[in-house]
């Protein structure tokens, strides 16, 4: 089956002023789309073209002959997860079950926000910062390049893209300002709660 580029869950200008429509034009319209095109080209006329995106990621994660396919497929998945991790008028204090888990597993919201920001800043080079559920507890992790928690059997709840293409047009080299803006104003707690339940 062909892998598709899902629609954005918001309009391109709705994350302004924190993420511009210009960034989304490139990040979604060019980067995310290119990962979809590359994935489809790499599975075309192979035994992998009947698999779901998740199955492709799991099948290629530890295969050194399929690195390019893993990287592109995982980037398709990570970006779709990232768009869903953001919402206009998001951020702020969590609500629902995730709020209780953050208090029990991090002590309080401020500790959580600090740890997520530290992961975003601490990733050397390109990658992703994640809120994940691991052995029943919330934790923060980071992955390099295209790597994704689902390749390691870990359940992601939210993520922040920390490749330079995610923030350079709006923040130049200011990764800390971008991470702050996302955490404070855009995180989608409803999505985190849905993932926690699922």
Binding residues for Mn ion (CB under 5 A): 161, 163, 166
* Residue closer to Mn ion (CB basis): 80 or 193: 80
Distance CA 130, CA 67 (A): 22
Nearer to Mn ion, 147 or 193 (CB): 147
For residue 79, the minimal CB distance to Mn ion (Å) is 6
**At CA 117, angle to CA 116 and CA 123, rounded to 5?**
90
C-beta closer to Mn ion: residue 70 or 163:
163
Q: Which residue, 167 or 191, is less far from Mn ion as judged by CB?
A: 167
State the nearest-atom distance from the C-beta of 28 to Mn ion, in Å.
Answer: 9
Distance CA 131, CA 149 (A): 10
- State in angstroms the smallest separation of the CB of 65 from Mn ion: 25
Output 161 or 170, the one with its CB closest to Mn ion.
161
Cβ contacts of residue 137 below 8 Å, gap of 6+? 105
Q: What is the DSSP letter of 195?
A: H
Distance in Å, CB of 64 to Mn ion, minimum: 24
Residue 166 Cβ vs Mn ion, minimum distance, rounded to whole Å: 5
Rounded CA-CA distance 62/70 in Å is 9
Q: Of all residues in this chain, which one has the CB nearest to Mn ion in the complex?
A: 161
Verify cis geometry, omega within 30 degrees of 0, for the bond prior to 17. Answer: yes
Residue 67: phi and psi, rounded to 5, are -60, -45
* C-beta of 69 vs 159, nearer to Mn ion: 159
* Shortest reach from residue 165's CB to Mn ion, in Å: 5
Q: What are phi and psi of 170, to 5 degrees?
A: -95, -35
Residues in the chain: 198
Contact 59, 51 (CB under 8 A): yes
């Amino acid at each position: 089956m062909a892998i598709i580029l899902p629609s954005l869950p918001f309009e391109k200008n709705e994350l302004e002023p924190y993420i511009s429509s210009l960034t989304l034009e490139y990040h979604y319209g060019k980067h995310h789309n290119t990962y979809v095109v590359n994935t489809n080209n790499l599975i075309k006329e192979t035994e992998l073209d009947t698999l779901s995106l998740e199955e492709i990621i799991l099948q290629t994660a530890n295969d050194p002959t399929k690195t390019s396919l893993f990287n592109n497929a995982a980037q398709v998945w990570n970006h779709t997860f990232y768009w869903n991790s953001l919402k206009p008028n998001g951020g702020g204090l969590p609500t629902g079950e995730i709020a209780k888990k953050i208090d029990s597993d991090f002590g309080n919201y401020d500790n959580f926000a600090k740890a997520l920001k530290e992961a975003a800043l601490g990733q050397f080079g390109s990658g992703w910062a994640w809120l994940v559920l691991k052995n029943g507890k919330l934790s923060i992790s980071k992955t390099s390049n295209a790597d994704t928690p689902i390749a390691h059997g870990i359940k992601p709840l939210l993520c922040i893209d920390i490749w330079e293409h995610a923030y350079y047009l709006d923040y130049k080299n200011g990764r800390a300002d971008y991470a702050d803006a996302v955490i404070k104003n855009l995180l989608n707690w409803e999505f985190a709660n849905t993932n926690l339940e699922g």
